[in-house]
């Protein structure tokens, strides 16, 4: 017997599960189909983000940072700790428990909101029908008034570095090392490569990051990217720019990496190699040939500003559509689509999706950077405040980096906030809130900020935009 739902969601990552919950909250009869099976062999909700992405990587970043602090950062506080050691399997076990807690949490939320959770592979057929292949291979058809595609993305594989069982791995494999590799290679100096490279560097690996491009963190503000490169180099992360990996060979459980850079063809040998060259939309066996969905030239499902596909009543959200591959972008698209299906006039502000790199110091930004504004011919003022002049950062022995605010020269409206430093992600979110409400740098400068807080660096950067910073010499005096 065919079942009928108001909304059927394919994929339970941050795009899909959030869309399903919001749709159910709005009174729509909703089902969500998910096929993911975790490393314990059991089906799990939460997608890439909860199982092998945001959450497990942050668990390892936090564990490795604590180890690094205990080993090298406590002395300055007068704390003398001897016999520090790292139990990697215990760290991985803690990470797995956190993943289970959160994926189980999605299951609980589905029950609480009345979302029907369906295990299996979903495929969109013509006429808004969805075929479900259950784990035992049996198939059934679900009728849907609306379908939300949210099948996410998978790591890109490159011919010079085919994955092996446990020597050449992707980001998922890099979350499962059972010991610290003595020498670790990483291909790709993007967000994922830098975060995972940092985890293992802090635990003692010698890390080389190969980046084919000549520029470092091309999407970040240039001043922030320059500061990041300086800091990572000091931390011992060797980032080789203009270095393209051209081949790999496994020799006695090690991997010989061939690469070409300005000095010609070279080779380096590693115990492990992480391939972190980006992700591609995942649409395998998702779309029947007659379902009518258009893909763009990168294989992404083609959608409009409201995530509507070329088929009325079928939407797509998250990593499988245009825009940054970020969990919060996916989730907000999920909410927007659910609300539009329920008849609300929801829209999303794509100009204010914050970006974060969870290294230490963190790097985060929202809005435009200097280069983008120059290209657009916009005149702007810049205010920069270094954490070295922020009491809270210095007290915490974490005073590297800066807050940089950019505001329109004519209207003083804040156009971008760029931070490298402690709690950069949280500080940038303050900037995002301010920008959402069209705040000027002067407005922020007139607000009272608690002392001593890291947030004062944002306050001072806002003041510096118009030459009024108190705790640093102003570039321009007014
Ligand atoms: P996904 O999370 O990929 O979920 C898609 C789901 O659909 C999967 O569970 C998949 O099994 C399922 N599926 C696919 N096809 C079918 C089908 N036919 N039938 C049934 N189910 C199907 N982003 C951040 O914002 N912050 C971070 O800190 C961050 N860290 C990351 C760290 C790493 C190591 C990685 C790899 C990614 C990280 N990301 C981070 C990116 C983030 O994980 C993704 O942007 C996010 O998961 C995308 O959500 P989604 O719902 O679009 O897709
Ligand atoms: P991101 O897409 O942000 O995760 O970044 C992935 C990075 O990997 C990009 O900056 C690419 O330039 C880089 N990259 C891709 N292929 C290679 C390669 N063969 N050697 C070195 N870097 C590469």
The answer to whether residues 215 and 320 belong to one domain is no
Look at residues 244, 249, 272, 281 and name the one whose alpha carbon lies nearest to residue 259.
244
Query: Which of 47, 52, 334, 354 for mutating ligand 1's site (highest number of atoms within 8 Å of CB)?
Result: 47
Compute, in degrees rounded to 10, the torsion defined by CA atoms 56, 58, 59, 63: 140
Supply the DSSP symbol for 386: E
What's the whole-number average pLDDT of the chain? Answer: 97
The answer to whether residues 272 and 181 belong to one domain is yes
Which residues are CB-neighbours of 95 under 8 A, at least 6 positions away? 56, 59, 60, 63, 175
Say if 205 falls within a structural domain.
yes
The answer to whether residues 376 and 456 belong to one domain is yes
CB-based burial label for 281 (10 Å; 0-12, 13-18, 19+): buried
Rg (Cα) of the chain, in Å, rounded? 24
- Structural domain total, the chain: 3
The answer to whether residues 272 and 287 belong to one domain is no
The answer to whether residues 148 and 33 belong to one domain is yes
Which ligand is nearest to the Cα of residue 36, counting in written order? Answer: 1
Q: Domain limits at 177?
A: 168-277
Which ligand is nearest to the Cα of residue 279, counting in written order? Answer: 2
Residue with the smallest CA separation from ligand 1 atom 40 is 54
| Contact assessment for residue 20 and residue 8, using Cβ atoms and an 8 Å cutoff | no
| CA–CA gap between residue 400 and residue 340 (Å, rounded) | 44
Q: What is the pLDDT of residues 67-126, one digit of tens each?
A: 999 999 999 999 999 999 999 999 999 999 999 999 999 999 999 999 999 999 999 999
Which two three-digit tokens encode residue 156?
A: 């890109």
The side-by-side arrangement of strands in the sheet containing 402-408 is 355-357, 362-367, 414-421, 402-408, 380-386
- Is residue 2 pLDDT above 70, yes or no? no
The answer to whether residues 302 and 412 belong to one domain is no
Q: What is the pLDDT of residues 391-427, one digit of tens each?
A: 999 999 999 999 999 999 999 999 999 999 999 999 9
Which residues are CB-neighbours of 316 under 8 A, at least 6 positions away? 148, 149, 150, 293, 301, 303, 307, 309
Q: What is the pLDDT of residues 227-252, one digit of tens each?
A: 999 999 999 999 999 999 999 999 99
Residue with the smallest CA separation from ligand 1 atom 41 is 326
Q: What is the pLDDT of residues 171-218, one digit of tens each?
A: 999 999 999 999 999 999 999 999 999 999 999 999 999 999 999 999
The answer to whether residues 441 and 367 belong to one domain is yes
Say if 162 falls within a structural domain.
no
Residue 17 DSSP SS3: helix
Q: Which H, E and C letters describe 254-287, residue by residue?
A: EEEEEEEECCEEEEEEECEEEECCCEEECCCCCE
Which residues are CB-neighbours of 121 under 8 A, at least 6 positions away? 33, 35, 132, 133, 285
Residue 171 DSSP SS3: coil
Look at residues 375, 167, 360, 148 and name the one whose alpha carbon lies nearest to residue 256.
167
| CA–CA gap between residue 346 and residue 324 (Å, rounded) | 20
End-of-domain residue from the set 317, 351, 385: 351
| Contact assessment for residue 254 and residue 266, using Cβ atoms and an 8 Å cutoff | no
Let me know how long the chain is.
478
The pLDDT, as a whole number, for residue 3 is 80
Point out the ligand 1 atom lying closest to the alpha carbon of residue 196. 34
CB-based burial label for 172 (10 Å; 0-12, 13-18, 19+): middle
Strand bridging mode 314-316 / 380-386 = unpaired
Distance 259 CA to ligand 2 centre (A): 13
- H helix or E strand, kind and range, residue 328: helix 327-341
End-of-domain residue from the set 321, 351, 381: 351
Say if 473 falls within a structural domain.
no
The answer to whether residues 269 and 318 belong to one domain is no
Q: What global pTM score does this model have? A: 0.97
Say if 92 falls within a structural domain.
yes
| Contact assessment for residue 301 and residue 316, using Cβ atoms and an 8 Å cutoff | yes
For ligand 2, whether the C-beta of 158 sits within 6 Å is yes
Distance 419 CA to ligand 2 centre (A): 23
The pLDDT, as a whole number, for residue 477 is 58
The answer to whether residues 92 and 150 belong to one domain is yes
The answer to whether residues 17 and 150 belong to one domain is yes
Point out the ligand 2 atom lying closest to the alpha carbon of residue 243. 21
End-of-domain residue from the set 248, 277, 306: 277
Which residues are CB-neighbours of 108 under 8 A, at least 6 positions away? none
Check which CATH number belongs to the domain holding 405 and give it. Answer: 3.30.390.30
Check which CATH number belongs to the domain holding 101 and give it. Answer: 3.50.50.60
The pLDDT, as a whole number, for residue 435 is 98
Q: What is the pLDDT of residues 35-67, one digit of tens each?
A: 999 999 999 999 999 999 999 999 999 999 999
Q: Return the half-sphere exposure (C-beta side, CA atoms, 13 A cut-off) of residue 229.
A: 17
For ligand 2, whether the C-beta of 354 sits within 6 Å is no
Intra-chain end-to-end CA distance of the chain, in Å: 75
The answer to whether residues 286 and 151 belong to one domain is yes
Residue 196 DSSP SS3: helix
Which residues are CB-neighbours of 359 under 8 A, at least 6 positions away? 61, 194, 195, 198, 228, 232
Which two three-digit tokens encode residue 37?
A: 């099976």
Say if 160 falls within a structural domain.
no
| CA–CA gap between residue 65 and residue 197 (Å, rounded) | 12
The answer to whether residues 147 and 271 belong to one domain is no
Say if 434 falls within a structural domain.
yes
How far, in Å, are 188, 248, 257, 258, 269 from residue 159 at the CA level?
Answer: 14, 9, 13, 13, 18
The yes-or-no answer on residue 451 being catalytic is yes
- Catalytic residue, chosen from 451, 459, 468, 471, is 451
């Amino acid at each position: 017997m065919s079942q009928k739902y108001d909304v059927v969601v394919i994929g339970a990552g941050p795009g899909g599960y959030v869309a399903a919950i919001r749709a159910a909250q709005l009174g729509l009869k909703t089902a969500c189909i998910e096929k993911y099976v975790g490393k314990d062999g059991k089906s799990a909700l939460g997608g890439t983000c909860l199982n092998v992405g945001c959450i497990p990587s942050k668990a390892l970043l936090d564990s490795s940072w604590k180890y690094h602090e205990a080993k090298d950062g406590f002395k300055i506080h007068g704390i003398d700790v001897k016999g520090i050691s790292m139990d990697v399997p215990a760290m991985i076990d803690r990470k797995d428990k956190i993943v289970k807690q959160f994926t189980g949490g999605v299951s609980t939320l589905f029950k609480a909101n009345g979302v029907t959770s369906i295990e299996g592979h979903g495929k969109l057929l013509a006429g808004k029908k969805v075929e479900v292949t259950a784990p035992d291979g049996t198939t059934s058809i679900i009728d849907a008034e609306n379908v939300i595609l949210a099948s996410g993305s998978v790591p890109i594989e490159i011919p010079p570095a085919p994955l092996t069982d446990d020597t050449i791995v992707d980001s998922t494999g890099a979350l499962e090392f059972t010991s610290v590799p003595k020498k670790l290679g990483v291909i790709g100096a993007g967000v994922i490569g830098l975060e995972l490279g940092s985890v293992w560097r802090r635990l003692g690996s010698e890390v080389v990051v190969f980046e084919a491009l000549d520029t470092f963190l091309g999407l970040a503000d240039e001043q922030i990217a320059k500061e990041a490169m300086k800091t990572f180099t000091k931390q011992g992360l060797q980032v080789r720019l203009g270095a393209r990996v051209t081949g790999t060979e496994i020799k006695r459980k090690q991997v010989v990496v061939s690469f070409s850079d300005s000095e010609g063809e070279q080779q380096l040998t590693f115990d492990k190699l992480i391939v972190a060259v980006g992700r591609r939309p995942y649409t395998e066996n998702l779309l029947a040939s007659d379902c009518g969905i258009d893909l763009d030239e990168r294989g992404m499902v083609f959608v409009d500003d409201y995530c509507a596909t070329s088929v009325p009543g079928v939407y797509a959200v998250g990593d499988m559509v245009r825009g940054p591959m970020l969990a919060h972008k996916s989730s907000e698209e999920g909410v927007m689509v659910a609300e539009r299906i329920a008849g609300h006039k929801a829209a999303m502000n794509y100009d204010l999706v914050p970006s974060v790199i969870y290294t230490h110091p963190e790097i985060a930004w929202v809005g435009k950077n200097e280069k983008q504004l120059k290209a657009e011919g916009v005149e702007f003022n810049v205010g920069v405040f270094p954490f070295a002049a922020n009491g809270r950062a210095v007290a915490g022995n974490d005073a590297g980096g800066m807050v940089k605010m950019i505001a329109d020269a004519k209207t003083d409206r804040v156009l971008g906030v760029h931070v490298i430093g402690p709690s950069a992600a949280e500080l940038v979110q303050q900037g995002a809130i301010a920008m959402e409400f069209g705040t000027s740098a002067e407005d922020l400068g007139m607000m009272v900020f608690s002392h001593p807080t890291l947030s004062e660096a944002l306050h001072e950067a806002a003041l510096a935009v118009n030459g009024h910073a108190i705790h640093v010499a102003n570039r321009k005096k007014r």
